[in-house]
Amino acid sequence: MAVETSYADLSSPDTFVPGVPFETFDRLRKENPVYWHEEQDGPGFWCVTRYDDLVAVNRDNQLFSSNRKTALFMESDEEMLGQQRLMMLNMDPPMHTRYRLLVNKGFTPRRVNQLKEDIRRRTNEIIDAVCEKGEADFVVEMSAELPLQVIADMLGVPQEERHLVFDWSNRMVGSQDPEYLTDPEFAQNASMELYSFFNQLSAQRRIDPKEDLVTALLNAEVDGEKLTELELDLFFLLLSVAGNETTRNAISHGMVALSEHPDQKQRLIDDPSLINSGVEEILRWSSPVMHFRRQATAPTQIGEQKIGEDEKVVFWHISANRDEAHFPDPYSFDVSRS
């Protein structure tokens, strides 16, 4: 059915090509904070735009499920849903709790401390290399490089093969981007290549264990249970794709924000104690994950709006992070915001 609305069509990627339609989100928060949005090729969805409503939906996994139809905006057939439900992102408790306990085995305090040292070293090396050149493509040589190198270190992927992760990530999340989409199976082929790569790496680690996340996850147990091969594959996919793309985008948007607000950049230079709040402000400002989806498990209510069972609910971080009821002067970039 055709989408008819006085607001921008939030179901269409084309709407976001010129930039985020902040005017529409501002109007929705004021006029229609939980708004029914029709879709051209979907069931329609409730559009949640206010901060407090987003937090309430996000915290209530009994009424708003990630597992029923996944946390992703697009619709999937039942065969695809069966596989997607095994990914941590798309789980509800108690399955999510079990999976998280298993994955946490790979993030011991010792390993986390080592990871901090590795990230600092990698960051310094990347900055030094760019300083030596005098100029760089920031996205390609810095914001994309750091998460790629760190993820490769974590998983024990040889650094010379890290750009495979970059390619798989772009192909899987770029299914609506003409730069990457060549046929309907393009993203699926990328995921198959990733699975094959990590299955081979897992086989090597079973024979020759290393001090890396792959080895730790292969050996992790909770109540005598280990991760299955498919669960491992899906975890590697989530880390490789989501960990890579979101971090890259946050760093890139952060540099744009600091370039457009030189006074805030200077504040960070003059007072390094503002770094932590500055990072939080960059995450608010950039919202590298624009939205997530839930499915209502029973008739319920968000704010004053009644929601029917099994209706699609999409909550928008990009709107909630500009909610003036929670963030005073939300269109001001302020590295000291608490």
C-alpha to C-alpha distance for 83 and 21, rounded to whole angstroms? 33
**Domains of the chain and any CATH numbers:** 1-93+291-337 (3.30.43.20), 108-289 (1.10.630.10)
C-alpha to C-alpha distance for 132 and 97, rounded to whole angstroms? 47
Give the model's pLDDT for residue 6. Answer: 82
Number of neighbouring beta carbons within 10 Å of residue 192: 13
Query: 3-state class of 100 per DSSP?
Result: helix
Instruction: Give the length of the chain.
Output: 338
- Which range (143-147, 181-185, 245-249, 302-306) has the least confidence? 181-185
**Does 330 sit behind a cis peptide bond, omega within 30 degrees of 0 on the bond before it?**
no
| CA distances in angstroms from 232 to 24, 226, 258, listed in the order given | 40, 10, 38
Residue 41, token pair as written in the block: 């090729």
| pLDDT over 80 at 65, yes or no | yes
Please, which pLDDT band fits residue 5 given cuts at 50, 70 and 90?
low
| pLDDT over 90 at 131, yes or no | yes
| pLDDT over 60 at 164, yes or no | yes
Q: With pLDDT > 90 as the criterion, what percentage of the chain qualifies?
A: 65
Q: With pLDDT > 70 as the criterion, what percentage of the chain qualifies?
A: 95
Give the model's pLDDT for residue 170. Answer: 78
C-alpha to C-alpha distance for 278 and 334, rounded to whole angstroms? 8
* N-terminal to C-terminal alpha carbon distance within the chain: 44
Confirm if 327 and 337 have CB atoms less than 8 A apart.
yes
Give the model's pLDDT for residue 182. Answer: 53
